[in-house]
Amino acid sequence: MTDKELILDMMKKAGEPLNAGKVAELSGLDRKAVDKAFAELKKDGAIVSPVRCKWEPANK
């Protein structure tokens, strides 16, 4: 499972918008890896921001 897949799966299970710091904490990934995956997920349109600085999967 790639970092992006792990992050998306974890975000779906959380059921609420999360910031990158919380995702790093919950997933055990390095913050830099989370930031890189977030950038790719945003570019792909896989995550959206319902509130400032927090993200959730585009397709819940």
**CATH no. for residue 10?**
1.10.10.10
Q: Which amino acid is at 23?
A: V
Look at the chain and report how many structural domains it folds into.
Answer: 1
Q: pTM, whole model, 2 decimals? A: 0.87
Whole-angstrom distance, CA of residue 58 vs CA of residue 38: 13
* Model confidence band, residue 60 (pLDDT cutoffs 50, 70, 90): low
Run of H or E residues at 21: helix 20-27
pLDDT digit string, tens, across residues 11-48 = 999 999 999 999 999 999 999 999 999 999 999 999 99
Residues of the domain holding 33: 3-57
* Res. 54: pLDDT tops 70: yes
* Model confidence band, residue 59 (pLDDT cutoffs 50, 70, 90): confident
